[in-house]
Amino acid sequence: MNKKQLAILLSKLKTFEKQDISLEQYPTESEIASQALWFAYMQSDIKNKTIADLGCGNGIFGIGSLILGAKKVIFLDVDKKILDIAKQNLKFIEKQLNKKFNATFINKNIKDFNKKVDVIIQNPPFGVKNTHADKLFLLVAMENSNIIYTFHKIESKEFIERLTQENGFKVKNLIVFNFPLKRSFFFHTKKVHYVKVGFWKIERFKK
């Protein structure tokens, strides 16, 4: 499996049938997801790891992790409908690859997640509609893993650096993407609006 093959597989996944504006549900484009996952894979943070995909949406990061050799993935989302789509997507990929993966699906709020894992990969709400929604995701992630890959608006750079330091973590890497937000709601005036988004790897300080 190479990065191009991964992107092609991920492009076939079903996405949101109806998005919830309060949850800031925007699908991650398959090319961006594959680049992010491939980076994590090359950092030795996917193969044989237990991974949590928090706010998993259609499951693109968790499914991509399983394709790349993750030992197990926990998919968590508060929206049962989109979690059901993630389940359908995993079944589709299993059929495509003729392989059964180890996955658990949890329909809960992020604040109720409490499972220690090797790595967390997440694309949380950016906190546009609900202020500090992304902060809660980060705090929960830092309670449950030593290695976190997380997407945020690039304007959050100083906030993320400060929050990670306050909680015994440090920023290891930052990759910037032009994240396409496709027109999904009546107030969107452009067919596609691009936002600069950072993909952070943060890691707990080793004692």
Q: What is the pLDDT of residues 122-156, one digit of tens each?
A: 998 865 555 567 889 999 999 999 999 999 989 88
Q: What is the CATH number of the domain that holds 143?
A: 3.40.50.150
pLDDT value of position 180: 76
| CA dist., res. 171 & res. 162, Å (int) | 10
pLDDT-derived band at 187, boundaries 50, 70, 90: very low
Phi, psi of 140, rounded to the nearest 5 degrees: -65, -40
pLDDT value of position 186: 41
Q: What is the pLDDT of residues 99-116, one digit of tens each?
A: 999 999 999 999 999 999
Number of domains the chain is built from = 1
pLDDT-derived band at 15, boundaries 50, 70, 90: confident
What's the CA dihedral at 146, 107, 3, 177 to 10 degrees? -70
Q: State yes or no: pLDDT of 206 exceeds 80.
A: no
Token pair in block for residue 91: 């079944």
Q: What is the pLDDT of residues 40-90, one digit of tens each?
A: 999 999 999 999 999 999 999 999 999 999 999 999 999 999 999 999 999
Q: State yes or no: pLDDT of 198 exceeds 90.
A: yes
Q: Which domain holds residue 38?
A: 3-204
pLDDT value of position 175: 95
Query: What's the whole-model pTM score?
Result: 0.89
| CA dist., res. 173 & res. 194, Å (int) | 22
HSE-up of residue 152 (Cα within 13 Å, Cβ side): 23
pLDDT-derived band at 24, boundaries 50, 70, 90: low
- Contact between 78 and 48 under an 8 Å Cβ cutoff? The reply is no
pLDDT-derived band at 195, boundaries 50, 70, 90: confident
- Find all residues with CB under 8 Å of 124, minimum gap 6, and list them: 54, 55, 110, 133, 134, 136, 137, 138, 150, 151, 152
pLDDT value of position 72: 98
